[in-house]
Amino acid sequence: MKLGILEAGDVVPDLAARHGDYPAMFRALLSDADPAIEFETVHVVAGEMPESPDQADAWLVTGSRHGVYDDLPWIEPLKAFLRDCMEQKVPVVGICFGHQILAEAMGGKAEKSDRGWRLGRQNYAVVQRPEWMTQVPDHYFVLALHQDQVTKLAPNSSVLAVNSHCEYAALAYGDIEDPDAITVQPHPEFGPKFMDELLRLRRDKPIPSSFVDEALENLDGPLHADNWAKTIVDFLRRKAASRAAA
């Protein structure tokens, strides 16, 4: 299976040198769950775009420092490409910015939340559990860094998980038992060391120090990133099998 990574943001060079860029972090996360996955990166934030959805078996949209509402030349082409993927039943996974832009592309809404920043180790609750989501516990912890979030659901999407500040924290598109896409607001690819350094770098630039300090105090504790990695891989395997059968 070839997974195309749509790189929608660049990691600060100093951090990338120590922890890897977004594609490297996702390769590490998902290869642990399935070493057979092949990866291809398309640097959409630099203006690249795949030729067609069938260039890969599935696509993953990364996080980004940009907003889905920003007037950037690659935003609308990315939305159009994601709509093509959904129309052609090529599976999509969205993480943070990827979660938000798929919602926008499919008729929902993402914007800056009036609830402010959500940073560091966050607790989420599963509210619907399809068969392919058995790896994720009822309450799970994943690292998050966002001010934007989905505020209006797209048609034909279902809520899988929530937390106290993010009511659409994980979504499925299409038949919940056989979705065409799954997306999550937090970052399962982030590790605590990377998050620690990123938060310190962004203190007051642009994140208020009070938010950063609170998040840094709560980084310790178990995370369920591996559970989400296995869930993403299970989803992709199921979709690959169903597409092959069709």
Domains of the chain: which residue ranges?
2-245
Q: b/e map of 197-233 (b: 16 or more CB within 10 Å)?
A: ebbeebbeeebeeebbeebbeebeeebbbebbbbbbb
| 105: DSSP letter | H
Q: Are 172 and 160 in contact (CB under 8 A)?
A: yes
What three-state secondary structure class fits 146?
A: strand
Residue-level pLDDT at 120: 96
Model confidence pLDDT, tens digit, residues 52-101: 999 999 999 999 999 999 999 999 999 999 999 999 999 999 999 999 99
Cα–Cα distance, 90 to 87 (Å, whole number): 8
Q: Please, what are the averages of pLDDT over each run of 10 residues along the chain (246 residues)? A: 97 96 98 96 98 96 97 98 97 98 98 92 97 96 97 98 96 97 98 97 92 94 97 93 78
Q: What are phi and psi of 203, to 5 degrees?
A: -60, 120
Residues 6+ positions from 47 with CB-CB distance below 8 Å: 73, 74
Residue-level pLDDT at 229: 98
Residue-level pLDDT at 205: 86
- Yes or no: domain 2-245 corresponds to CATH 3.40.190.170: no
Residue-level pLDDT at 51: 96
Q: Using N-to-C axis directions, what is the helix angle for 209-217 and 192-202, rounded to 10°?
A: 160
Cα–Cα distance, 99 to 96 (Å, whole number): 5
Least Cα distance to 62 among 116, 15, 100, 118 occurs for: 100
Cα–Cα distance, 238 to 244 (Å, whole number): 10
CA 190 to chain centre: 11
The β-bridge relationship of strands 92-95 and 109-112 is unpaired
Global pTM value: 0.96
Cα–Cα distance, 126 to 99 (Å, whole number): 17
Residue-level pLDDT at 246: 73
Rg (Cα) of the chain, in Å, rounded? 17
Residue-level pLDDT at 115: 84
Model confidence pLDDT, tens digit, residues 91-122: 999 999 999 999 999 999 999 998 889 999 99
